[in-house]
Structure 1
Amino acid sequence: MESPDSATTGSQPGGDDRHAEVVAADGARALVVIPTYNEKDNLPGIIGRLNQALPGIHVLVVDDSSPDGTGELADQLAADDADHRLHVLHRTAKDGLGKAYLAGFGWGLARTYDVIIEMDADGSHAPEQLGSLLAAINDGADLVIGSRYVPGGRLVNWPKRREWLSRGANTYARLALGAHIHDITAGFRAYRREVLETISLGTVESAGYCFQIDLAWRTVQAGFDVREVPITFTEREVGESKMDGGVMTEAFMMVARWGVASRMTRLRRR
């Protein structure tokens, strides 16, 4: 039976070394990937909080040619970073959150990082809570999801309509896929590099927030150890959410397709 505050799915493909410490207490050997589009007002704050919470961690800002100058600001912040832990990747098109993350993952995997982390630029994910995700990685998890919907998870200043949409989407995905993850749409998560090297990133089609479901589902299917730890999710104070109806439609259709495919596979194996 799964713990109420730490859902675990799958086996541990890495064997006995799953419990080996892969990231230091200060975040060394880990990379935080932060996609940005018009986040100029939020970026300095989130970078500063990360540096204070985990002074050894590296950060990659993936900017989609923000017209508000976010990319230029990121370049300046990187130039001012004497420790060379802040990096910037410029993309020429705004073609979805998933594509931005895939570009960031590719950048990180081409280097020596052991853990790659997803985090929003808008302050909704608290850098001060990243340590709990990394602790679960060091405890043997392969993917750790910062969850709003396990005991101890909280939502702050989120409109009720968006909360119920989110809860409904997670319930739908959990039932359709049969995955024991309470917050499969969450965007605050940490992957061991072995996961991203295994789950065929080159075949990922999802571009919007469905990307989060897609990668978590692939991780579950590959037999990796997936856990959730509680976080506090705080609604952004500056800027606008990038969520829209098209994102929700994409997620609904793709989850239905994956669920049917999974059930057909299980039937064929009987």
Structure 2
Amino acid sequence: MSAPSLTDQLGRVVMVIPTYNEADNLAWIVGRLRRAQPEVDVLVVDDGSPDGTGRLADELADADPQVHVIHRQEKAGLGAAYLHGFAWALDEGYDVIGEMDADGSHQPEELVRLLDALADGADLVLGSRYVPGGSVVNWPLRRWAISRAGNLYVRLLLGIPIKDATGGYRLFRRTTLEKIDLATARSAGYVFQTELATRALQHGLKVREVPIEFIERVRGDSKLSGGIASESMRRVTAWGLQERTAQLRGALRRRAGG
């Protein structure tokens, strides 16, 4: 008798892939994902791409019943696209809901590492560039340094032990998404990733990082801009100050009560 597969242990799994102008990459990355994990479903959330990405997604869905598509009318941010996709997946009864980029930076062939960690008891698994065994390919030194410094800032200011809180290759149990209350998520941009990981820790959930090799896109343009990075730092700073203020008030109350 053969051993149960990871999806037998975990239940129904879907990977949510947000897209905006990814016509050059979409069929390539979905094909790789379907070959790497044939039992895992795919949900493409397209933000009204003018380059025809949405039409290509529909063609993939027509050819494969495990591929699904949501069409959004405007580009409203990564967090908004993921929230829409998560809501759909929860309504459809999926047990595990994942995130990955469409540009090939997250390798579908490494998804098994995240699935293994979830099956081993984690509530949220993060594909990490910055734990032992993780790496980044084809990034200039300046971008690598900014990313490492940003993650260090997040770790110190928010007081969380995560080495790569900004990465977007991850798996959630449905119970995790239900506990962290997506309806009150405050972020639309890339800082959405940090917010959800922080919320999971605040709820006492088990968050585990596994190493991945992150590969910079070779086709199409990066969606990361200076404005997005600035928004992330502003929000993280505000959350950190709120957390430290709450801790100080708590300490003062305890001292007064003592």
- Give TM-score scaled by structure 1 length: 0.89
Matched to 2:89, the amino acid is G
Once the two structures are TM-superposed, the CA of residue 26 in structure 1 deviates from its matched residue by 10
Residue 140 of structure 2 corresponds to which residue in structure 1? 159
The answer on whether the counterparts of 2:165 and 2:197 sit within 8 Å (CA) in structure 1 is yes
Matched to 2:54, the amino acid is G
Once the two structures are TM-superposed, the CA of residue 268 in structure 1 deviates from its matched residue by 3.3
2:237 to 251, 256, 261: 256
Residue 76 of structure 1 corresponds to which residue in structure 2? 59
Residue 33 of structure 1 corresponds to which residue in structure 2? 16
Matched to 2:238, the amino acid is R
Confirm or deny that 1:43 pairs with 2:26.
Answer: yes
Once the two structures are TM-superposed, the CA of residue 269 in structure 1 deviates from its matched residue by 3.2
Q: Distance in 2 between matches of 1:61 and 1:186?
A: 19
The answer on whether the counterparts of 1:116 and 1:193 sit within 8 Å (CA) in structure 2 is yes
Q: Distance in 2 between matches of 1:92 and 1:22?
A: 38
Q: How does 1:173-188 map to 2 (within 5 A)?
A: 173-188=154-169
Q: Classify 1:255/1:214 alpha carbon distance in 2 versus 1 (closer, same or farther; 3 Å).
A: same
SS of the equivalent of 1:202 reads helix
Q: Classify 1:28/1:77 alpha carbon distance in 2 versus 1 (closer, same or farther; 3 Å).
A: farther
Matched to 1:108, the amino acid is A
- Give TM-score scaled by structure 2 length: 0.93
Matched to 2:38, the amino acid is P
SS of the equivalent of 1:24 reads helix
Show structure 1 runs of 4+ deviating over 3 A: 25-28
The answer on whether the counterparts of 2:125 and 2:170 sit within 8 Å (CA) in structure 1 is yes
Q: CA RMSD in A?
A: 1.6
Q: Distance in 1 between matches of 2:226 and 2:195?
A: 18
C-alpha offsets along residues 168-203 of structure 1, whole Å, 9 cap, x if unaligned? 110100010010000000000000111111112111
2:217 to 236, 247, 251: 236
Based on CA coordinates, which of the two structures has the bigger radius of gyration?
2
2:74 to 83, 93, 108: 93
Matched to 1:121, the amino acid is A
Q: How does 1:59-74 map to 2 (within 5 A)?
A: 59-74=42-57
User: Which one is further off, 244-253 or 229-238?
Assistant: 244-253
Matched to 1:79, the amino acid is D
Give the fraction of aligned pairs with identical amino acids, expressed as a percent: 56
Q: Distance in 2 between matches of 1:64 and 1:224?
A: 31
User: Which one is further off, 170-179 or 22-31?
Assistant: 22-31
Once the two structures are TM-superposed, the CA of residue 23 in structure 1 deviates from its matched residue by 4.7
1:130 to 111, 114, 130: 111
Q: Distance in 2 between matches of 1:132 and 1:23?
A: 11
2:40 to 34, 41, 57: 57
Confirm or deny that 1:211 pairs with 2:192.
Answer: yes
Q: Distance in 2 between matches of 1:137 and 1:154?
A: 21
Query: How many residue pairs are counted as aligned between the two chains?
Result: 248
Q: Distance in 2 between matches of 1:134 and 1:264?
A: 37
Point out the structure with the larger helix share. 2
Q: Distance in 2 between matches of 1:202 and 1:26?
A: 28
The answer on whether the counterparts of 2:17 and 2:45 sit within 8 Å (CA) in structure 1 is yes
Q: Classify 1:169/1:145 alpha carbon distance in 2 versus 1 (closer, same or farther; 3 Å).
A: same
Q: Distance in 2 between matches of 1:224 and 1:194?
A: 10
The answer on whether the counterparts of 1:27 and 1:56 sit within 8 Å (CA) in structure 2 is no
Q: Distance in 2 between matches of 1:266 and 1:65?
A: 43
Q: Distance in 1 between matches of 2:8 and 2:167?
A: 23
The answer on whether the counterparts of 2:10 and 2:95 sit within 8 Å (CA) in structure 1 is no
Q: Distance in 2 between matches of 1:22 and 1:110?
A: 24
> Which structure has more RCO (C-alpha within 8 Å, separation ≥ 6)?
1
